Structure 1
């Protein structure tokens, strides 16, 4: 879904301050939209400053993650969903291979453990939404956990929706263009933990903390520890390290936004190496990705003005639900996704290089 551009072997993720989007003038909004458009076309990742999320909210959320992932493994396993097709609840370590979502088999299962919550049918009582797509959440009996997580969902979701406003301006669309596609969005918060090993360990080259993948939906808001591990694949075929700047949230674009823009905006491939210190010893890392994926029944086809005169769209129309089902069948159900041949070829080339 596009190739992030490196310059002289360095791939920089731009820092964009969006604080003036709400309170600034027309020139401020135009400048922010232009910066986002440039980052979307060249990197597919952004670092967002001025997002307005209080530090206390982030600290309470981080404490909730620590409390949950510190539970005994068997207690966490009791919160697994009834089937892999239900994208909720607990995922134990070494049970997923994210590269399968691109149609590439990994040598070993990914090391991370995770806990997912997301949009439920009951969140939209006036709509008759299928519970298969909007399943109920699974919550641990952990004091304060649900409250902290729901607060983070509220603020991260608010930021994601603000970003779609900026996206509309950057793409020359009318204000509110994306609202009909996202007013009952399939949003998921995936809280991820790369646990420290029980013994001092140096991991092998083929072992991934989280395997290479592109994000599936519209936009992802990522909170992460400032611990090395995250890498994005550049157009030069090399992997480049990304470390969030203090006070910033990482944001990356997903496959559906790339399809909308005919790949003019990038859904950039990324992975997480087993987090390690400067001596190669495995260390702990936490992150939380808020996926703003769109309405399950929304049809995604190329946006006006994104296909050159006389050209054809690079991707056929699809629905959010159909696209997510194919991707999740790879990462969660262990089936190779055959719908990403170009990305599979890029990943194989990077692995062989």
Structure 2
């Protein structure tokens, strides 16, 4: 489980569903066959995966693992570039540390996300914001996913897939109809999508091309680098056309949270392990 720290939100974050997978398979481990030694202390990180029956979703497990492997492979390359910067600019930074963390971790988590089409009756804070309005004290545009930071190191993100559920019918697997859903070329509203907050508090919309991956930094990396890399606050906006009715567009994406092993040190000065750091984060948002 990935514990996302909520920074600021004007509503309860209830418009998305999640399917989590532990990526220990990347390093040839299966937590259902060999329990993690700290499983009782950290069940949220070490629980074995529960996969759908192959007859219900044929090919799902193999496709999921293949895509996660591509994302982690790419994250290792990104981590190497972070290491080069850190080695040159942070006194005492251990050579190749982040690359080692990403490559060796059996706690990296994948989160398959489905953002439900909002209903017109969902009129919570932020839903009546003009589409081009910046974040203000009185209004929050994070209508599809509340503003938060990730607490791992690097988060790999796929491009979002938008599906109009008013046009596409989800057929039961028992009928044998496994035809793929038709994805929209773009969401119904140009303001729909992922937004990040820069260091100067500027809100920036992030568009990920269909054939690309994006990576953002989390709180563990911020601690590891002594604040040289900041955890990026981000949120997802549904867009006015989607929430005001007439469409039923859902958003789907995969996020892979690369994070250290529980015993890995994230704060060299204090000797804090990732397990200790995670307990602190969870207590903060309990």
Structure 1 length normalisation: TM-score?
0.54
Aligned length: 223
Residue 47 of structure 2 is matched in structure 1 by 135
TM-fit CA distance, 1:144: 1.3
TM-fit CA distance, 1:193: 0.9
SS of 1:251 mapped into structure 2 = strand
- Give 1 or 2: higher helix fraction: 1
- CA-to-aligned-CA distance 1:112-137 (integer Å, 9 cap, x gap): 11111013594388996333332100
The answer (yes or no) to whether the contact 2:159–2:210 under 8 Å persists in 1 is no
- CA-to-aligned-CA distance 1:325-351 (integer Å, 9 cap, x gap): 3435666xxx2xxxxxxxxxxxxxxxx
2:243 maps to 1:297: no
Q: Distance in 2 between matches of 1:177 and 1:187?
A: 16
2:142 maps to 1:178: no
Residue 123 of structure 1 is matched in structure 2 by 30
1:148 is aligned, of 46, 51, 63, to 63
- CA-to-aligned-CA distance 1:133-186 (integer Å, 9 cap, x gap): 321001112211111111111111111122212221222267643355441341
Structure 2 length normalisation: TM-score?
0.65
1:59-208 alignment to 2 at 5 Å? 87=1, 101-102=5-6, 106-120=10-24, 122-123=29-30, 129-131=37-39, 132=43, 133-141=45-53, 142-172=57-87, 176-178=96-98, 180-182=100-102, 183-197=104-118, 203-206=123-126, 208=143
SS of 2:46 mapped into structure 1 = coil
RMSD: 3.3
The answer (yes or no) to whether the contact 1:119–1:135 under 8 Å persists in 2 is no
Residue 75 of structure 1 is matched in structure 2 by none
- CA-to-aligned-CA distance 1:220-266 (integer Å, 9 cap, x gap): 11013264221112344343222213532111011111112211112
The answer (yes or no) to whether the contact 1:118–1:188 under 8 Å persists in 2 is yes
Q: Give the unaligned 5+ runs of structure 1.
A: 1-86, 89-95, 303-312, 336-353
Q: Distance in 2 between matches of 1:252 and 1:105?
A: 20
- Give 1 or 2: higher strand fraction: 2
Shift in alpha-carbon separation, 1:284–1:213, aligned structure 2, 3 A: same
Residue 325 of structure 1 is matched in structure 2 by 279
SS of 2:117 mapped into structure 1 = coil
Residue 215 of structure 1 is matched in structure 2 by 150
